[in-house]
A and B are shown apart, each in its own frame.
Chain A
Amino acid sequence: MNEDNKLIGQFLAGDIKGFEMLVKKYQNRTLNIVYSLVGNDRDSEDIVQEVFIKAYHGLGGFRGSAQFSTWLYRISVNTTYDFLRKRRHTTVHEDVSKAKAVIDESSELSLSAREKKEEVQKALDSIPFHYRSAVVLKDIEGLGYADIARALGCSIGTVESRIYRARQLLREKLSDPGGR
């Protein structure tokens, strides 16, 4: 039995520590996936909370047929999608107050280095969600195609073509993708 399943078992047996360990183990990976999909600190933090609330409620029915991480990433992608869809339909005045807790390491970088990093996120923001989610799971989280297919609920062939298309689109948006 892998470590995650042990922790899940511990949680289901009534020990909340098991769930806490899972949260700590996956919070930053989830955060970076969600951040790359949504593009700002404050919303990412809220969505990540939402993801773990859903996991908390859903784990009672988790049968271990999929890996916990894949299951969690599926919740992450779908929760983010749902959030973005709802945001489209409501007028949000982005009071771009920084998130309460997200540690932004780039604040110590020079202006040009920061712009360079923001450029990558802006390019991601500009491509369709189904391309973005595939390429983020690949290049931000480092999943293999089979796990991405499970997380997105599509075939491996679809994953492959979405990633290819995403990279093509990103290359057009990035002025100098190879440069530093």
Chain B
Amino acid sequence: MLNCKKVKKLLSRYLDGEMDEATSRELKAHLEGCVSCARELSGLNAVKNALAAKERKALPEDYLVCRLKERLHSAEEVAPKWQWLPDMGNLSRRLIPVPVAVIAVSLAFLSATLGEFDKVDIVDNYLFQDNLSRAELSILEESNVTLDSATRIVFGINGNQWR
């Protein structure tokens, strides 16, 4: 049997329709006989409705595409040396050793040039490290470039521009 403490913990899941039918039935039965839990549910439901009714923002349709193009084309944002990144996956899939080796060398060089980096943030790890192929990983390893510094090199520019 469900007690009030358990029911209250389950109310959000119930509200979001993430509950299996058997538990849902049990919960409904409890709510019919329990004022305290029913009140809790209506409070949570009111919050959910308030958020659903919250104002929505919008950008003009072409605005962001234009802004992104400007930024990606400006020399500051994407210096030529960064531009290989979107193609990296394709390169390794086609197993072309030469360009990949060039990448490794330039990473090693940049790593030496730029020195120590701050701890890389989660997003950059996620984007970059999670998506490296085994070939790319072994190249980094052989070049003595840590994943963190490789990631920082790639995303360093983006990471610093909030100021």
Contact with A along B69-112 (1 / 0, CB 8 A): 00110000100001001111110000000000000000000000
B: number of interface residues (CB 8 Å): 57
Interface size of A as a range: 35 or more
* Cα-based distance from A164 to B7 in the complex (angstroms): 12
Candidates A32, A49, A82; contact of B64 at CB < 8 Å: A49
Interface pair B86/A78, CB less than 8 Å apart: no
Within 8 A of B (CB), among A1-55: 12, 20, 23-24, 27-28, 31-32, 35-36, 41, 44-46, 48-50, 52-54
Chain B residues within an 8 Å CB radius of A36: 54
Interface pair A58/B131, CB less than 8 Å apart: yes
Interface pair A78/B123, CB less than 8 Å apart: yes
Within 8 A of A (CB), among B9-60: 9, 11-13, 16, 18, 42-60
Interface pair A57/B154, CB less than 8 Å apart: yes
Interface pair B12/A78, CB less than 8 Å apart: no
* Cα-based distance from A27 to B122 in the complex (angstroms): 22
Using CB atoms, name the residue of chain A closest to B82. A57
A168 to chain B, nearest CB (A): 7
Interface pair B47/A171, CB less than 8 Å apart: yes
- Given that A61-B128, A83-B162, A138-B16 are known contacts, is A117 also in contact with B47, CB under 8 Å in the complex? no
29 pairs from A and B in contact (CB 8 Å cutoff):
A28-B59, A31-B59, A44-B57, A45-B59, A46-B162, A54-B158, A56-B72, A57-B158, A60-B131, A61-B89, A61-B127, A61-B128, A62-B89, A75-B123, A102-B57, A103-B57, A103-B59, A120-B51, A136-B51, A138-B16, A145-B13, A153-B126, A167-B44, A167-B47, A170-B51, A177-B46, A177-B47, A177-B49, A178-B45
Q: 6 additional contacts, CB 8 Å, given A41-B57, A60-B88? A: A28-B59, A54-B123, A57-B82, A101-B60, A121-B54, A164-B13
